[in-house]
Structure 1
């Protein structure tokens, strides 16, 4: 039963995404402190990942994002695993999400299945900077040529596709050139797949590498396989301004999934608490009214935040 974002949006809006993975794993008493970040749990604690996916589905999520943002062949091999083991881990992450989806769906009554779409599994493709784990994923301050980006991303995308993902999520992208290459790969090497790119921002109108958000979004209008576009892992108060910029330059559905508002220090790997802000429920409703069609959460968000979206979206 393979569906697509387009199929879902023809029946439901907004589409509800899931939220953070790593902090929900940590709530289970598991320490995440290696350069692999939450990807280490694919091998060490796969059951913890499945629980998180199930918690988000039960909270109302229509899409599970695989725990592969930091999962790359190079990263696993750098941590001492073989290439074959690394390939298996990436595919295992997809299998875990699919298993959770099946378990959740089979547990619904026939009546419940009429009220929500069959969930999708999005294969998370994080930026090259996430592999570097040196803070550059928050600045976009890295550069490979076209062939270098393709070589880095190809294996993971192929493995995600083969394992059964419904689409790719090119997420938390700080570097415009890298995202252009990913779109080119989608067209040239994965012509039957679809994806959403979502950018991380330096301010309300610029990617982390300084590229104007309007310029970046406009570039993807020519790619039919890009079925939504937006921003993620930004503070909640930046979402509406970003939606306004995006809506001015594209008719594609807009995807937004901000973080909790806490500030992450990449070198110390510590979080700084956020100031008091609007509830996720009321904020997400405002994002929908502003033009967002796919809404979820990123770092430090929880199933409770996703439930707050579902309360008004499914009313």
Structure 2
């Protein structure tokens, strides 16, 4: 297994792709509010096999199936903790790779599309409390890094920055690249700068946005290793829980992201092992 922080200073590292997309293509139902975590709960061998497919395609980092797991929801807290820990152990079984424990936004726990807006109606203290226990449980699992991803607003970035300062595990932080929560001029750049200043944050960037949005976001980022793993450019309808539109070839743009400073490069929703293999070939 590579030492991730050291590797990022030398070369681009390949992330995996859309775990929920792959699980669905393997015949699993990911339509519930739990998404891929439902499969983690009911059929962890399927999650293990999906991780292994991405590793076989060239992924050096696998992101766990914990994105939509959090405390205080419909699942009893004890079961949430069990599943958070399982998500890391299952990913660890996939091969000799870096395991990144996924920390999704509060909107992902709500499963109502608010991870693309950040419009929760909550205070900074509310958001800190909502994330705190999950961060600490995942930090205790032995994950190599925390993948704090798809964060949709400056306020939630601030809350996570404050909480990450108390967590003794490295993290990369990725904003929801097309979120309306960053509509105010300069807000995304300020959020990236803020979280990049947190000790232990080894990379920042964007994910779950159209590939065409990545370049502008990376141009706003501070001078530390950057993260880029967009979706394939299709549009998510939160009401019907379906994707619409055509898919882009992520590997076509990946070299430009690397040239802009991206050192963690992969795919988000709708990206497949074939996309990851193509990205790996394009940037190595």
TM-score after normalising by structure 1: 0.84
1:271 aligns with 2:243: yes
Q: 2:52 aligns with which of 45, 48, 54?
A: 54
Structure 2 partner of 1:7? 6
Structure 1 contact 4–166 (Cα < 8 Å) conserved: no
Instruction: Look up the SS of the partner of 1:255 in the other structure.
Output: strand
Deviation >3 Å, runs of 4+: 206-211
Q: How much does 1:243 deviate? A: 1.6
Structure 2 contact 116–181 (Cα < 8 Å) conserved: no
Q: Deviations over 1:136-192 (max 9, x none)?
A: 1111111323332232212211221221111111100001111111111111x21x3
1:19 aligns with 2:13: no
Q: 1:195 aligns with which of 171, 179, 185?
A: 171
Q: Deviations over 1:191-222 (max 9, x none)?
A: x322111111347xx75464622121222343
Rounded Cα–Cα distance in structure 1 between residues aligned with 2:82 and 2:100: 18
Instruction: Look up the SS of the partner of 1:121 in the other structure.
Output: strand
Rounded Cα–Cα distance in structure 1 between residues aligned with 2:3 and 2:162: 20
Structure 1 partner of 2:230? 258
Structure 2 partner of 1:142? 120
Assess, with a 3 A threshold, how the Cα gap between structure 1 residues 285 and 31 changes in structure 2: closer, same or farther: same
Structure 2 partner of 1:225? 200
Assess, with a 3 A threshold, how the Cα gap between structure 1 residues 139 and 207 changes in structure 2: closer, same or farther: closer
Q: How much does 1:38 deviate? A: 1.3
Structure 2 contact 119–181 (Cα < 8 Å) conserved: no
Q: 2:134 aligns with which of 156, 161, 183?
A: 156
Structure 1 partner of 2:83? 89
Q: Deviations over 1:61-99 (max 9, x none)?
A: 111101111011233xx1xx4322221111111110011
**What is the RMSD computed on CA atoms of the aligned residues?**
1.9
Structure 1 contact 227–253 (Cα < 8 Å) conserved: yes
TM-score after normalising by structure 2: 0.93
Rounded Cα–Cα distance in structure 1 between residues aligned with 2:183 and 2:152: 6
Rounded Cα–Cα distance in structure 2 between residues aligned with 1:34 and 1:209: 30
Instruction: Look up the SS of the partner of 1:35 in the other structure.
Output: coil
Structure 1 partner of 2:216? 241
Rounded Cα–Cα distance in structure 1 between residues aligned with 2:160 and 2:32: 27
Structure 1 window deviating more from structure 2 (153-162 vs 121-130): it is 153-162
Rounded Cα–Cα distance in structure 2 between residues aligned with 1:269 and 1:43: 21
Rounded Cα–Cα distance in structure 1 between residues aligned with 2:194 and 2:182: 17
Structure 2 contact 15–61 (Cα < 8 Å) conserved: yes
Gaps of 5+ in 2: none
Gaps of 5+ in 1: 106-118
Structure 2 partner of 1:32? 30
Rounded Cα–Cα distance in structure 1 between residues aligned with 2:21 and 2:140: 28
Assess, with a 3 A threshold, how the Cα gap between structure 1 residues 241 and 157 changes in structure 2: closer, same or farther: same
Structure 2 contact 196–204 (Cα < 8 Å) conserved: no
